[in-house]
Amino acid sequence: MKRSALIVVGLIAISVFLLSAGTIITQPQNNFPEKEIAIALRNVGHRLLLHAGDSTSRVLPVKQLSGTIYSLEFQSPFAFVPDSLVNIVQQSLEATPVWLDYTVNVLACNTNEIVYGFQIGKLEQTTLVPCLGREQPEGCYTIVLSFLQADTPQNNSYLFGLALISLVVIGFVGRSFVQKKNIPEPEVPTMQLGKYEFYEAKRILKFGNASIDLSDKESQLLKLFAQQINQPIAREVLMKEVWQDNGVLISRSLDVFVSRLRKKLKDDSTIQILNVHGFGYRLVIQE
């Protein structure tokens, strides 16, 4: 029994080595999951409009411009925050089997000029996400998603074959000796705010089964408020911590972002962000 278990462990180790050495996880072009990508993009459009406060206008049908390039258009103009766009696209594509790097460009409808874009890659040096926190004005936009082709090493077919054989053997032999269910660890919120759960790393609020996206600035502000519940915080402190500035324009932005947070916390009547006249704001949570 122990000997058979050792054989299974050895085969697993060999397979992992071959997979790593040969980079054999490939995604043939003819198996590209077009339907899943289209559904994910419609979800992107739906969540973007909701984030902009629009729950009525239509997300137009997704267009496949080429094998790995898609476009998404909207019935009505809208405004967006780059932080939210990046998060929404990443979360939507995580539900698809695509593992390729990709770029997203936002085009102005009337000129086709790129007003914003970013790239997400598997490696740090292949990920480019500029201009976070700079809200884009309301306008007619088209979102173009392009998947980048993977560099497949040559002469690695023999490694693929060996690894495939090992995996098949593991599937039949290992099943007889190793039966283990993978139970994902539950997500733990950064903090509980009334009936809301605040996940700082993902920049989201959860209210029951509903998830509410937060921009980078909204998340930073909420974290500051949550660290000093029922305590007044000066405007200057909030501006310095979030914007590293205390100019007039930033002061106006603070008021705008506080107003957005109030709307996103409106479903729990025990939570309020109150003005402290001549001083700043205070997050109040009633027992």
Q: What is the DSSP string of 154-196?
A: SS-HHHHHHHHHHHHHIIIIIHHH------PPPP--SEEETTE
Better-scored residue on pLDDT, 33 or 214: 214
Buried b (16+ CB within 10 A) or exposed e, 251-263: eebbeebbebbee
For residue 142, what pLDDT is reported?
A: 95
In 10 A of CB 230, how many CB atoms? 11
- pLDDT tens digits along 234-287: 988 888 888 876 565 577 888 899 999 999 999 999 999 999 998 999 999 987
Terminal CA-to-CA distance of the chain, rounded, Å?
Answer: 58
Report residue 64 as tokens. 């496949």
Query: What is the model's pTM?
Result: 0.45
For residue 129, what pLDDT is reported?
A: 81
Distance, CA of 83 to CA of 88 (rounded, Å): 9
Distance, CA of 50 to CA of 264 (rounded, Å): 12
- pLDDT tens digits along 18-59: 556 555 444 444 567 888 999 999 999 999 999 999 999 999
199 by DSSP, 3-state: which?
A: strand
Q: Phi then psi for 136, rounded to 5 degrees?
A: -90, 140
When mean pLDDT is compared across 82-86, 166-170, 272-276, the lowest value belongs to 166-170
For residue 47, what pLDDT is reported?
A: 93
Q: Phi then psi for 279, rounded to 5 degrees?
A: -130, -60
Q: Give the C-alpha distances (Å, rounded to integers) separating 99 from 76, 96, 152, 244.
A: 31, 8, 13, 37
Averaged pLDDT for residues 194-222: 91
Averaged pLDDT for residues 123-136: 77
For residue 139, what pLDDT is reported?
A: 92
Distance, CA of 27 to CA of 23 (rounded, Å): 12
Q: In what helix (H) or strand (E) does residue 20 lie, and over which residues does it extend?
A: helix 2-22
For residue 204, what pLDDT is reported?
A: 92
Better-scored residue on pLDDT, 106 or 5: 106
